[in-house]
């Protein structure tokens, strides 16, 4: 992910100040959608092994709190309709991200000082996960209880620091800082406004009866990748035609298989600043060399 977000922000920033559309060529060269597609490719491998081959799957990487959380969470969303409900998605984030120790402080630059950026730890790992979730939702609009606005608002509150859910790197640090005494959970915010996040196209019957493991038209989703990956234009505060218009053909570009993070994040509306927490410099991602083993 080296410099990916930097390039996306560079491509869209002028359209905040002028009638010019985002630079489509620069958007493609950023490699952002390629990384989202690679993540979904790995998800398909996991889902296929579990749902079709009835195999156990071991997901592992260097540290276990970046790419592991991404792939594990996306696979569960595809395999189990519970995680496509509002309550289920909140439980999934608490389980596979907050409790499992994703380093939100390091990755998002919270409570930051120069040393966090010198060490190049900032990386949009959770942002990528939400983007990939949006791709699956967009491809299967009747299978999700929550809507795109739910994901977008969650991304906003990832950086707002209004709630304690995403502060610090793990539960031990949050307990030591007495986060539960000094702040509220972000889920209180979402539960108090549940009607805002309901997907009007949601059809629970499409997933069949509880505990069914049907494949054809059943509970399991297989994300489409390649040309099916689109820009999440609402995340970047743009119109659909600005970022998902006609395709542009470019020479093939070799991107790193597992790269580093970047300094900037997308804001929540046209003319807004990048997400808080991103600073100058290149930020490294961890969990390089992720592998999926079938057992």
* Residues annotated as catalytic (active site), given as ranges: 61
Strands (E) in the chain, as ranges, are: 57-60, 291-294
Q: Take residue 60 and report the two structure tokens written for it.
A: 């592992």
- Per the document, the length of the chain is 295
- Cα R_g (the chain), whole angstroms: 19
The secondary structure of 212-249 as a DSSP string is: ---TTTTS------GGG----TTTTT--HHHHSSS---
**Burial status of residue 227 (CB atoms within 10 A of its CB: 0-12, 13-18, 19 or more):** exposed
63 among annotated binding-site residues: yes
Q: Take residue 108 and report the two structure tokens written for it.
A: 């998002």
64 among annotated binding-site residues: yes
Handedness of CA 108, 113, 117, 119 (dihedral sign): negative
Within its chain, how far is the Cα of 211 from the centroid? Answer: 27
32 among annotated binding-site residues: no
> How far is the C-alpha of 191 from the C-alpha of 109, rounded, in Å?
27
The secondary structure of 91-107 as a DSSP string is: HHHIIIIIITT--HHHH
Q: Which of 186, 136, 187, 193 has the alpha carbon at shortest distance from 161?
A: 186
67 among annotated binding-site residues: yes
Residues making up the binding site for substrate: 61-67
Residues making up the binding site: 61-67
């Amino acid at each position: 992910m080296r410099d990916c977000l930097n390039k996306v922000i560079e491509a869209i920033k002028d359209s905040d100040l002028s009638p010019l559309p985002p630079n489509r060529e620069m958007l493609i060269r950023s490699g952002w959608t390629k990384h989202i597609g690679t993540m979904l490719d790995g998800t398909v491998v996991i889902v296929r092994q579990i749902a079709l081959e009835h195999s156990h799957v071991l997901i592992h990487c260097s540290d276990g709190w970046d790419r592991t959380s991404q792939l594990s969470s996306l696979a569960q969303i595809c395999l189990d309709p519970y995680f496509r409900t509002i309550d289920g998605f909140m439980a999934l984030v608490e389980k596979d991200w907050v409790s499992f120790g994703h380093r939100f402080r390091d990755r998002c630059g919270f409570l930051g000082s120069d040393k966090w950026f010198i060490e190049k730890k900032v990386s949009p790992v959770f942002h990528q996960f939400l983007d990939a979730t949006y791709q699956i939702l967009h491809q299967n609009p009747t299978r999700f209880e929550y809507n795109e606005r739910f994901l977008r608002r969650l991304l906003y509150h990832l950086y707002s620091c209004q709630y304690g859910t995403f502060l610090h790197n793990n539960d031990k640090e949050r307990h030591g800082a007495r986060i539960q005494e000094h702040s509220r959970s972000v889920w209180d915010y979402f539960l108090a406004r549940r009607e805002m996040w309901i997907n009007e196209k949601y059809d629970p019957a499409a997933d069949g009866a509880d505990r069914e493991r049907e494949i054809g038209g059943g509970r399991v989703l297989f994300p489409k990748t390649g040309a099916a990956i689109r820009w999440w234009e609402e995340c970047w505060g743009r119109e659909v035609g600005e970022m998902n218009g006609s395709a542009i053909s470019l020479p093939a570009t070799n991107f790193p298989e597992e790269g580093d993070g970047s300094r900037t994040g997308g804001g929540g509306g046209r003319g807004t600043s990048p997400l808080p927490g991103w600073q100058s410099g290149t930020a490294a991602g961890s969990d390089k060399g992720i592998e999926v083993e079938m057992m």
